[in-house]
Homo-oligomer: A and B are copies of this chain.
Amino acid sequence: MQLMSEKSAAGGGLRERKKRATRAALAEAAVRLAAEHGAEKVTVEAISAAAGVSVRTFFNYFDSRDDAFVVVDADAGARMRRAVLDAPAVLSPLEALREAMAAELAEAEQQHELWRLHAKVLHASPHLLARGVGAHMAAEADLADAIAERLRGVGDTGGPGSGAGPGSVTGPGSGLYPRLLAAVAGAAVRTSMDHWSAHQEEAAFLDVFHEVFTLLAAGLPAPSA
C-alpha cells in the first residue's frame, strides 16, 4: 500500500496525469487570454471554458482567479532545494543558490513562449506582479531551509530552528542568514527578470542574471562613475 506520495513526479496513474493536464490547461488558458485581452478582463468563466471544465472545477485547482496567472511550477521549490543540497561543497552558499536558480530558470526557458507571455501579463498589471512575488515566498522558505541544512553539513535533518543552540540571536544558529540569503537571491532574480523584460532586445537574460549575482557577491558597491 504505497502512500502515493509522488505528487509531482512524472507519470504515475492516469488520475495524476489528468489532474496535471487540467491544471496546466487552466494555467495556460489564463495566461493566453490575459495576454490577449488584459488580465482584468478575463473572467473565471472564460478561463474554464477555454480549458474545457466547469467554473467550479477551476476553483478546485486554484484558490483565486489571480492564482491562475501567477502559478509557477509548483515543485520548482523542491527541485531547487535538491540542487542546493547537491551542489559541490566548494561553492559558497550564494554560489550554490545562483546555480540552483540558474538551472531552474533554464528549465522554465524550455516553455519559451509561455514564459514570455507570462512575463508580459505580470508586467502589464502590477497587481499580479505583486502576487507573483508572494508566490515565490514559499519557495524562498524552502530554499532557506535547504541552505541551513547545507551549512550544518549533512546529518542533522531537523527542521529550521531545531538546533537554535547558544549562538547570539542575530548570529549563526538563529536562522537569519539562510532566510536573508534566500530572500535576497529571490529579489535578485525578480530584478533580473524585470530588467530583462524591459530590455529584451538588448540583453540576454543570462548576462543580466550573472551581473546581478556578481554585484551581490561584491556587497553591492557603488558603481565607479
Contacts and interface: CB of A to CB of B under 8 A. Distances in A.
A223 interface: yes
Given A131-B134, A216-B220, A180 B188 contact: yes
User: Interface on chain A toward B: helix, strand, loop, or mixed SS?
Assistant: helix
A129 B136 CA distance: 12
Interface residues of A, number: 53
Contact of A195 (B174, B186, B188, B225): B174
A203 B134 contact: no
A211 B92 contact: no
Contacts of A105: none
A220 B184 contact: yes
A207 interface: yes
B219 A219 contact: yes
B220 A180 contact: yes
Contacts of A215: 177, 180
A217 interface: yes
Contact of A126 (B138, B188, B199, B217): B138
6 contacts: A94-B220, A126-B137, A133-B133, A170-B211, A179-B194, A183-B190
Interface of A: 92-94, 126-127, 129-131, 133-135, 137-138, 151, 169-172, 174-177, 179-181, 183-184, 186-188, 190-191, 194-195, 199, 202-203, 207-208, 210-212, 215-225
Q: Which 4 A-B pairs have the closest CB atoms?
A: A130-B134, A187-B187, A169-B203, A219-B219
